[in-house]
Amino acid sequence: MQGIQSLSDLEVRSRNVLVRVDFNVPLRPDSEERTSDGDIEISDDTRMRAALPTIEALVAQSARVILISHLGRPKGQADPALSLEPVAKHLASLLPAGEVLFAEDCIGENARLVVDNLRDGQVAMLENLRFYSEEEANDEAFAKQLRGLAEVYVNDAFGTVHRAHASVAALPRLFESRGAGLLLTDELRALSTLRDNPAKPYVALLGGAKVSDKIGVIERLLTQVDDLLVGGAMANTFLAAQGKPMGRSLVESEKLPLARSILQKAQDQGVDLVLPQDLVVAEDPKAADGTVCASGAVPDDRMALDIGPKTIADYAQRCALAATVFWNGPMGLFEAKPFARGTQQLAGQLADGRGYRVIGGGDSVAAVQQAGLADRFSHVSTGGGASLEWIEGKRLPGVEALRYVID
């Protein structure tokens, strides 16, 4: 957190404080399925709850809190299906005061009016930033309009700090008084421990859909971990790279040379890159159940959709012996019950385990949350891409923009 002010460093009493939050929550029914203007529900409010400590701390200090966020991908124009209004309403139900004012625009007259009427300790939420294409374009003029609404800037949107968007990158630099919210501080602290100072033995558990999504972090982890345990569809590509038949499994065939070079690197660096010894296979993802086979024996007409029981036991054992475990990406197609066992059992094992256990990644975190195990991890990251990029050692635009440096 070098050169970055924390919430307690900022003078906020009776001042307008613009807080960038990540309230990009899943909605039900989602915007495409919606027919009439029936009730919109927030199907998972984890990201909102994660920002409550910062909002409540600012309210307690009599700040005038102005929340800004994006929601979905409205393509740079107003889209009522992606309004933040229901989100503001839900937020009100989470706050002690039970009230959140809403501005139907994030800039201009509308925003101005709501902001001017804010009293000390009140909270307002502005409409979706991505109703303007300028947000994703990191447009300076757009940032200046937002700047005009407040005297202090706080970033608490960890899930967004890896994106060079206006509210995250251009905007904070326009404020003399700027800093990190409690969530952002907490995330960076936890993930920096992994990046800079992990207690050994250090085991990483990687899964999910693709090798290509996570290549940067794999290469970084190879320089740090003792074991790299691979599951999910990612493992399919590595197994195929070893020449194993994978039937109809999801394999990134154009990434086979890359997978081979990673296997070679692991060997050169003395890292145990462990692949599943058995798999759960089925005809297709909708199958009512699967059968277990050795990882070299996937039939031509089957696809691997989960890790098998021997692999689960092996990975669980290795995690149990670790002082640090980082987990990203589910071990199988966990959305379908017959293929959720690998992910669920390892989640249970890690929840019961000791040591420093961190999980990041949208789908893997959702799996752990569904199992009700999230609070038994040392840290659950609210940012998938951002957590990976931080661990990889990249500079994140939203974090850099908070620093006081002469550049």
Give residues 190-219 in contact with ligand ADP (rule: CB under 6 A): 207-209, 213
Tell me: does residue 385 bind Mg ion (CB under 5 A).
no
Q: Which is nearer to Mg ion, 338 or 362 (CB)?
A: 362
In the residue annotation, 244 being an active-site residue is answered as no
Q: Which is nearer to Mg ion, 214 or 255 (CB)?
A: 214
φ, ψ for residue 347, nearest 5 deg? -60, -45
- The interface mask with ligand ADP, positions 99-138, x = CB under 6 A, is ----------------------------------------
In the residue annotation, 329 being an active-site residue is answered as no
Tell me: does residue 53 bind ligand ADP (CB under 6 A).
no
For 370-376, which contacts have Cβ atoms below 8 Å and span 24 or more sequence positions?
371/344, 371/347, 373/347, 373/348, 376/351, 376/352
* The pair of three-digit structure tokens given for residue 145, joined into one six-digit string: 């309009």
Tell me: does residue 313 bind ligand ADP (CB under 6 A).
no
Q: Which is nearer to Mg ion, 131 or 390 (CB)?
A: 390
Contact 324, 198 (CB under 8 A): yes
In the residue annotation, 384 being an active-site residue is answered as no
Q: Which is nearer to ligand ADP, 335 or 400 (CB)?
A: 335
* Interhelix angle 85-94/46-60, nearest 10 degrees: 60
Q: How far is the CB of 368 from ligand ADP (least distance, A)?
A: 10
Q: How far is the CB of 116 from ligand ADP (least distance, A)?
A: 41
Cβ-proximal residues to 98 (8 Å cutoff; 6+ apart), any chain? 92
| 3-class secondary-structure state, position 306 | strand
The residue number with the shortest CB distance to ligand ADP is 208
DSSP string, 344-380: HHHHHHHHH--SEEEEESHHHHHHHHHTT-GGGSSEE
Residue 305, binding choice from ligand ADP, Mg ion, none, Cβ under 5 to 8 Å by partner class? ligand ADP
* The pair of three-digit structure tokens given for residue 165, joined into one six-digit string: 């968007």
Q: Which is nearer to Mg ion, 184 or 233 (CB)?
A: 233
At CA 384, angle to CA 345 and CA 267, rounded to 5?
70
Q: How far is the CB of 206 from ligand ADP (least distance, A)?
A: 9
- The interface mask with ligand ADP, positions 344-373, x = CB under 6 A, is -----------------xxxx---------
At CA 204, angle to CA 203 and CA 210, rounded to 5?
160
Residue 232, binding choice from Mg ion, ligand ADP, none, Cβ under 5 to 8 Å by partner class? ligand ADP
* The pair of three-digit structure tokens given for residue 301, joined into one six-digit string: 């007409």
Residue 329, binding choice from ligand ADP, Mg ion, none, Cβ under 5 to 8 Å by partner class? ligand ADP
Cβ-proximal residues to 286 (8 Å cutoff; 6+ apart), any chain? 336
In the residue annotation, 385 being an active-site residue is answered as yes
Q: Segment near ligand ADP (CB under 6 A), from 9-17, 33-41, 265-273, 327-335?
A: 327-335
Tell me: does residue 363 bind Mg ion (CB under 5 A).
yes
Tell me: does residue 276 bind ligand ADP (CB under 6 A).
no
Half-sphere exposure in the Cβ direction for 355 (13 Å, CA): 23
| 3-class secondary-structure state, position 179 | strand
Tell me: does residue 333 bind ligand ADP (CB under 6 A).
yes
- Which runs of consecutive H residues, i.e. helices, occur in 229-361? 232-241, 256-268, 309-320, 341-352
Catalytic pick among 121, 310, 362, 403: 362
Q: For residue 138, is it left (φ>0), alpha (ψ between -120 and 50) or beta?
A: left
- Active-site residue set: 47, 210, 362, 385
- Contacts with ligand ADP by CB under 6 A lie at 207-209, 213, 232-233, 250, 304-305, 328-330, 332-335, 361-364, 384
- Contacts with Mg ion by CB under 5 A lie at 362-363
